[in-house]
Structures are given as C-alpha cells and as structure tokens.
Amino acid sequence: NAGVMQNPRHLVRRRGQEARLRCSPMKGHSHVYWYRQLPEEGLKFMVYLQKENIIDESGMPKERFSAEFPKEGPSILRIQQVVRGDSAAYFCASSPPGNYGYTFGSGTRLTVV
Amino acid sequence: GDSVTQMEGPVTLSEEAFLTINCTYTATGYPSLFWYVQYPGEGLQLLLKATKADDKGSNKGFEATYRKETTSFHLEKGSVQVSDSAVYFCALSDGSSNTGKLIFGQGTTLQVKP
C-alpha cells in the first residue's frame, strides 16, 4: 500500500508562471489536506477537501490559489502567477473519514525565481 | 484562536543524553495532541499522540503526557541517538472547526552529536 504520493518533489517556476502540485492520497483515504511550510516555520493549514468537495479553505490565500480533488485522479493545488513569497514546501496529507491519523507525503518544494 | 508554542531550537545534545522539548498550547474544548518528526528532505511522520487529559503517548522511546492543568505536552526521551536528529513539531487538533485540521508549533530542531 503506497503512501501519500506527491509530485513533483521539486518545482522551479519563474515569477508570473503557474505551479501545479499533485497529491495522490493513500488507498482508502477520502480526505485530503494541504499545508504550507515557509522557511524556518511550522506548517500552516491551507485547505481540506473530500472527493469533489472543498470542506474548509480558511487557510487559502484569497487570490491566485485554488485546490481541487476530483472524483478520479489526484488532488491538485494550483498557484497562478507565482511570486517569490510563494516559495515554500507544500505538504499534502490524507486520512480516512473521521480520523486524525494523517499520513503526510514527502512534499513539493516550490522555488520561484 | 487555538495555538501551539514550542521551545526554541536548535537543541544540541550528546548521544545518550536525556531529551525534553517543551510544548504548551491554548485551545477551546478538548483537542487531541500530537508530536510529528521531520527528517531532512522528507515529510512529517506521526511520532505519538494523546487524545485526552492524562493520556501518555509513546513510540520509539519517546513519550509525552497530555497535561490539561498545565496545558502542556512535553516530549521526552531518556537516551537520544544520532539518528534522532530531526525537526520535531507539536500539534493539536482544531476543535473549533471539527474538520480534522491541525495547528502546528514552529518546530524544534534537535541535533545529536556522537
């Protein structure tokens, strides 16, 4: 049973480009969470999704950021028109319903140049 | 809102020394408490957890007790190894949202020297 798979592991984008980060949850996990880790800081919650539904996006910046978790395929975190301040590690976690037993992926490290 | 405060790092210890990493929290309701560990270049791994007051979580020689009276969840290990070098995060479940969201402390870097 593979763990939470995130790709790419490293992503370099120029300012103004779009970044797409993918997360495939563990088999049987229907809940996906995205967190952002800025340098030297802890993880900050961004968004919580279930299949085809955004449940809590209270941590998402109001502009340029969006997330989806379609019926088929991975969850996608999309950042449009990236800026240097978006450089961070983005972690996805999945869990079964009603369980705080997250499993984290290895993260995508986004660098905006 | 709910928050977690960890002791500042880095913490540098010699092998076989005793480890304590302090964690205190503020929360409404009755959160669950967690310790996660992050090795260089990797994601977070759940180290241990406690779901109610006076519970003790333990794993791999690490332990932490949920102290409601002092709102603390300090991480301890009796004898650290070089392989324990990592960043340790204390976290709590956000009881106000009931969505499984976790609130993390800023992390404490542990360096163990041989």
Q: CA A35 to CA A68: how far, in whole Å?
A: 14
What DSSP state is assigned to residue A16?
T
What DSSP state is assigned to residue A17?
-
Give the pairing of strands A53-56 and A43-50. Answer: antiparallel
CA B102 from chain center: how many Å? 13
Closest Cβ opposite residue B46 in set A6, A55, A102: A102
- The confidence band for B98, taking pLDDT boundaries of 50, 70 and 90, is low
Strand partners, A91: A35
Q: Compute the residue count for chain A.
A: 113
CB atoms B43 and A31 under 8 Å: no
Q: CA A74 to CA A4: how far, in whole Å?
A: 10
Q: CA B5 to CA B55: how far, in whole Å?
A: 20
Least confident stretch, A31-40, A59-68, A99-108, B85-94: A99-108
pLDDT in tens, B12-51: 999 999 999 999 999 988 899 999 999 987 888 999 999 9
Which residues from chain B sit within 8 angstroms of residue A102, using beta carbons?
46, 100, 102
Which residues from chain A sit within 8 angstroms of residue B99, using beta carbons?
48, 55-56
Least confident stretch, A36-40, B70-74, B87-91, B92-96: B92-96
Tokens 């950042």 belong to residue? A79
